[in-house]
Amino acid sequence: MSNQVKSVGVIGLGSMGMGAAKSCINAGLDVFGIDLNSTALEELSLAGAKDVSSNPLDFAKQLDSVLILVVNAKQVNAVLFDSGLAEALNPHTAVMVSATISADDAKQIEAKLQQHQLIMLDAPVSGGAAKAATGDMTIMASGSALAFEMLKPVLDATAAKVYNIGEQIGLGATVKIIHQLLAGVHIAVGAEAMALAARANIPLDLMYDVVTNAAGNSWMFENRMQHVVDGDYSPKSMVDIFVKDLNLVADTAKELQFPLPLSSTALNMFISASNAGFGKEDDSAVIKIFDGIDLPGVSKDQSKK
């Protein structure tokens, strides 16, 4: 249809954003990349982007749509409003906000976008860097039928599954927050299990192999505990991101007056890991809060930063 977008500005070229941007290029969209990291800009340019810049105003008028894959609501507001981008975009441009944010933040962002006649899709994503790279993310989105229709080329390019949660902005954000409850608890309990295995002198590669071929497995265990086995804590998703996300879970539960004993414990584990100096490491580094165990690739001083 004529109202479907043909160009997209991808803001935030981290592990998820880079994969999404390349998937849009592969799908034939005109892709413009925006990030402060010059290395990421160069990588996307070599992959076939129409243009790249650290300043989205450089090509705002060429965009039919914007895909925002940054960390939090503060960054969403910065790239849209503090930068002047929302004001510079053509009226009726579709803005797909894919950061993990609260429902209230999503509603406030939509209200500000409406002042500039911009159309928002509240569209958090999941699947990690691997699925972003292959265009197979899961997207849980809410917004108008027009927003879904306009952004269909971007959704098709980046996702294997798109869930329409409803028309109300904030519903997509809420579903993602509930999902993050599970993701955070799975990482935390996976770390606890592997720490217990280390204490019992069970080889962690053996323990990992058993679990990933048995009923106790989960996607997060299989993905994140591999990092522990490898002793590689280079961040795909940082400890501090789960401090942020599980705090969003806690805030949502507080508003609904609903008890969440397991996610509260997981949040405390991630906060402990952050306070111990592991906040910028991979979220699997939450395992380093356990004393009295030896971990692959981790020296005694590293485990007690």
The predicted-structure confidence for 43-87, as pLDDT tens digits, reads as follows 999 999 999 999 999 999 999 999 999 999 999 999 999 999 999
pLDDT class of 2 with cuts at 50, 70, 90? low
Residues 115 and 46 in one domain: yes
pLDDT of residue 130: 87
pLDDT of residue 193: 98
Beta strands in the chain (DSSP E): 7-11, 30-34, 51-53, 65-68, 94-97, 119-122, 125-126, 137-143, 159-166
N- to C-terminal Cα separation, the chain: 56
Give the Cα separation of 60 and 113 in Å (integer): 15
Closest by CA position to 47, among listed 68, 60, 29, 62: 29
* Residue 296 within a domain: yes
% the chain with pLDDT above 70? 97
pLDDT of residue 244: 97
Helix (H, G, I), strand (E, B) or coil at 13: coil
Which residue segment(s) compose the domain that 121 sits in?
7-168
* Residue 119 within a domain: yes
Number of domains in the chain: 2
Closest by CA position to 45, among listed 59, 33, 36, 35: 33
- At position 183, the amino acid (one-letter code) is A
Which tokens belong to 199?
């204490």
Our answer to whether residue 161 is catalytic in this structure is no
* Residue 94 within a domain: yes
Query: Among residues 168, 200, 215, which one ends one of the domains?
Result: 168
* Residue 1 within a domain: no
Query: Among residues 114, 133, 168, which one ends one of the domains?
Result: 168
- pLDDT exceeds 60 at position 198: yes
Set 176, 280, 300, 304: catalytic member: 176
Q: What is the CATH number of the domain that holds 237?
A: 1.10.1040.10
Evaluate if pTM is beyond 0.75: yes
Least confident of 43-47, 128-132, 148-152, 167-171: 128-132
The predicted-structure confidence for 256-300, as pLDDT tens digits, reads as follows 999 999 999 999 999 999 999 999 999 999 999 999 999 999 876
pLDDT class of 1 with cuts at 50, 70, 90? very low
pLDDT of residue 255: 94
* Residue 81 within a domain: yes
Residues 151 and 231 in one domain: no
Query: Among residues 142, 168, 194, which one ends one of the domains?
Result: 168
* Residue 61 within a domain: yes
- pLDDT exceeds 60 at position 304: no
% the chain with pLDDT above 90? 94
- pLDDT exceeds 50 at position 93: yes
Residues 162 and 30 in one domain: yes
Backbone dihedral angles phi then psi of residue 273, each to the nearest 5 degrees: -65, -40
Closest by CA position to 120, among listed 96, 137, 104: 96
Residues 204 and 67 in one domain: no
164 or 301: which leads in pLDDT: 164
pLDDT of residue 36: 95
pLDDT class of 302 with cuts at 50, 70, 90? low
- DSSP assignments along 38-68, one per residue: HHHHHHHHHTT-SEEES-GGGGGGG-SEEEE
Residues 163 and 186 in one domain: no
pLDDT of residue 15: 86
How confident is the model over 96-107, as a mean pLDDT?
97
Q: What is the CATH number of the domain that holds 22?
A: 3.40.50.720
Residues 164 and 21 in one domain: yes
* Residue 234 CB partners (closer than 8 Å, separation 6+): 281, 282
Residues 12 and 150 in one domain: yes
Residues 153 and 193 in one domain: no
How confident is the model over 244-249, as a mean pLDDT?
98
- At position 217, the amino acid (one-letter code) is N
Residues 258 and 138 in one domain: no
- pLDDT exceeds 90 at position 225: yes
Mean of per-residue pLDDT scores for the chain: 96
Residues 202 and 78 in one domain: no
The counts of H helices and E strands in the chain are 13, 9
Neighbours of 62 (CB within 10 A): 13
* Residue 57 within a domain: yes
* Residue 2 within a domain: no
Residues 36 and 155 in one domain: yes
Angle at 61 between CA 66 and CA 142, to 5 degrees: 25
Residues 270 and 292 in one domain: yes
40, 97 contact by CB (below 8 A): no
How confident is the model over 136-148, as a mean pLDDT?
98
